[in-house]
Structure 1
Amino acid sequence: MENIGKGLNQQLKKQGRLGKLEKIMAEVMADPDVQAFISENRERLTDDNISKSQAKLYEFVQEKKKFLLNDPTMIAPGYEPRLFMNYHFIDVTYIPTKDLEEKIALQEIKNRVKAMDMPKDIREARLNNFELTNERKEALRLALDFVGNYDDEPKHFHQGLYLQGTFGVGKTYLLGAVANLLAEKGYRTTLLHFPTFAVEMKNSIRTETVFEKLENVKKAPILMIDDIGADSMSSWIRDDILGVILQYRMQEQLPTFFSSNFDMKQLENEHLRVSQKGEVEPLKAKRIMERIRYLAKEVNMIGQNRRLN
């Protein structure tokens, strides 16, 4: 009697599970999107095909509910589930939403700007936020000319800009804004803070990564060197790092921008000419400046210090 009772209980449990499954599938089949899809494809679907597609139909209905509720546990967050015919059976695919496509597009644009040790406001700089004054019109005009000319003929050499001016006049912001505009047009730019980069290169001697980092910078499709001349420069940084970068870019005719508190003449005579050790090396300074003058056109930016506002 005990065995008969045990067997009966198991059978009732099994029937309960089957009843629950039938109820779930009834709800799935009643879903308006499921009904519409089956109706549209009825000529290609037999009852057996539909029965064998129940697992996919269940997945679709469950994921659609999560999608509408923006539930983070859904299989593919940001993707909308859709039914489609996979040979003679019903299957589920996931289509990126418009919001997700926009986020992906924006991320792709951001990824085209490699900002090394640059603050957030520079990474997010935009030309429409660049405060235009009479003193800065020429710099903006030349920057826009560069972007237009480069976009027209990206394989030709285009001279970059050497933005010169006192602290806080917007030199670095303009570089960041140009880099982001170029990114929107599909071009990659490396924007680096040169004093920080110089320290990093010295530290790379210990980790034996100087060559790798130097290669990445010198071969950047478009390079922007910010704040050159802000700190004293060793002969090694000047000749074996900066000199190598500039020589390569001059030979390969790669666009290069600079920003500095010094004008070109001051950079040569007051910064590059004397090493950290006090050695006076005018020929080496002149060699660096010849490369800079070849790569970039000097533009004077004047105005009030916006960092104080």
Structure 2
Amino acid sequence: MQSLNKTLQELMRGQNIVGNIQQTMKQVYADEDVQAFLNRNRDRLSKEAIRRGESKLYEFFHEKQLIKKGVPTVAPGYSPQLIISAGQVDVTYVPTKQLIEQQRQRHIKRLVSSINMPKFIKNASYDDYYLNEDMQTDTRMRAMQAAMDFTENYTKNNFQPGLYLYGKFGVGKTYLLGAIANELAKTKEIATTMVHFPSFAVEMRNSIKQNNTGQKLDAIKRAPVLMLDDIGAGAMTTWVRDDILGVILEYRMQEELPTFFSSNFSMTELQNNHLAINTQGDNEPLKAERIMERIKFLSREVEMEGKNLRDKG
């Protein structure tokens, strides 16, 4: 077995440290954390065990100094801790608070999945919602309050209807849906799936060729929280209305799974002008009513008015 001095020399040389070993170890033993560790374990560590563990004490001290200087360490994102292993001094590395927070934020973002949704929903939050004096309206305030009430009161085993947000282009409907999804992820660790419905309808039609329509539909309808954005914006074929939207809503109603919608149309307008009239121009009011019954069960209508937030002028 090589001597302790040789071990330390090799360790210090590998870390580009030149100097007197005794002087270096004097600094190590003067470190508050090293002293606290040795005092805390003085009944468990003999002098010989401490002497044999000097390379570990030095490793701990050196890595800690690198972290203070902001220099890359042997384990980025982890901080060294002195421990006793099999009666010997050893060093373990534990995640820093910063790394834990980064991991938590990544976990939160993974809880919100989106299909053909705008990038801004990733960072949407209640704090940045459009409630400044220039943008504030009574309906935006009511929508915001309804959203906050949902996220505050929602629990997995107690059905709570979502929101049906409607209003003109650019009033903040999609942003508010994103804020709700992010808040659920952050405070309740609830997974949300956000779907731009017109794009999803096109995707479902294309999936027929790949024979995976059922798989895609199943993933959407089972989402713990589902948000269908811009419903009513695209042409509604009978197949999309009955075999896609209808199947999703029927499953979610039976399972009592919260569902959100955004639309440029009120519920009445959506039913009469969009769901009832198919792409061939046929009027099918009973089928439209059936779909709307499920939407009304799953959500509560909230109007949003205000300036077009997309207008940069």
Which band: TM-score by shorter chain?
0.7 to 0.9
3-state SS of paired residue (2:68): helix
2:144 is matched with: 140
Task: Give the TM-score of the pair, scaled to structure 1.
Answer: 0.83
What root-mean-square deviation, in Å, do the aligned CA atoms of Structure 1 and Structure 2 show? Answer: 2.7
Match of 1:307, SS? coil
Q: In structure 2, how many angstroms separate the alpha carbons of the residues matched to 1:60 and 1:231?
A: 62
Q: What are the equivalent positions in structure 2 for 1:82-97 lying under 5 Å apart?
A: 82-97=81-96
Asked whether the 8 Å contact 2:81–2:94 carries over to 1, the reply is: yes
In structure 1, C-alpha distance between the alignment counterparts of 2:249 and 2:99, rounded to whole Å? 40
In the TM superposition, what is the alpha-carbon distance from 1:257 to its structure 2 partner? Answer: 0.8
Which residue of structure 2 lines up, in the alignment, with residue 81 of structure 1? 80
Partner of 1:283: 286
1:162 matched to 2:164? yes
Q: Is this contact kept in 2: 1:193–1:226, CA < 8 A?
A: yes
Displacement of 1:157: 1.7
Asked if the contact 1:25/1:54 (under 8 Å) is kept, the reply is no
Which of 166, 179, 182 is the equivalent residue of 2:181?
A: 179
CA deviation vs aligned residue, 1:219-254 (integer Å, no higher than 9, x gap)? 111111110011112222222211111000000111
Against the structure 1 CA distance between its residues 102 and 299, is the aligned structure 2 distance closer, same or farther, given a 3 Å change threshold? same
Match of 1:306 among 302, 306, 309: 309
1:149 aligns with 2:118: no
Provide the C-alpha distance between the structure 2 equivalents of 1:40 and 1:25, rounded to a whole number of angstroms. Answer: 25
TM-score normalized by the length of structure 2: 0.82
Cα separation, partners in 2 of 1:183 and 1:97, compared to 1, 3 Å: same
Q: In the alignment, which residue of structure 2 is the partner of 1:45? A: 45
Check 1:160–1:35 CA distance in 2 against 1; reply closer, same or farther (3 A cut).
closer
Aligned residue number for residue 124 of structure 1: 123
Q: Unaligned 5+ residue runs, structure 1?
A: 1-15
Identity %: 49
Give the Cα–Cα distance (whole angstroms) in 1 for the partners of residues 276 and 8 of structure 2: 89
Contact 2:171 2:307 in 1 (8 A): yes
Q: Could you list the per-position Cα deviations for residues 180-230 of structure 1 after superposition, in whole angstroms to 9, with x for gaps in the alignment?
A: 222222122222211122222223333333222222211111111110011
> What letter corresponds to residue 301 of structure 2 in structure 1?
E
Structure 1, 89-98 or 37-46: larger mean CA deviation:
37-46
Q: For the structure 1 residues 169 and 41, does the alpha-carbon distance in structure 2 shift closer, same or farther, using more than 3 Å as the test? A: same
Question: Is the counterpart of residue 215 in structure 1 residue 215 in structure 2?
Answer: no
78-87 vs 56-65, greater mean Cα deviation: 56-65
User: Separation in 2 of the partners of 1:280 and 1:189?
Assistant: 34
1:269 Cα offset (Å)? 2.0
Secondary structure at 2:169's aligned position in 1?
Answer: coil
Q: Partner of 1:202: helix, strand, or coil?
A: helix
Mapped pair 1:98 → 2:97: yes
Note if contact 1:123-1:176 (Cα within 8 Å) is conserved in structure 2.
Answer: yes
Bigger drift between 294-303 and 254-263 goes to 294-303
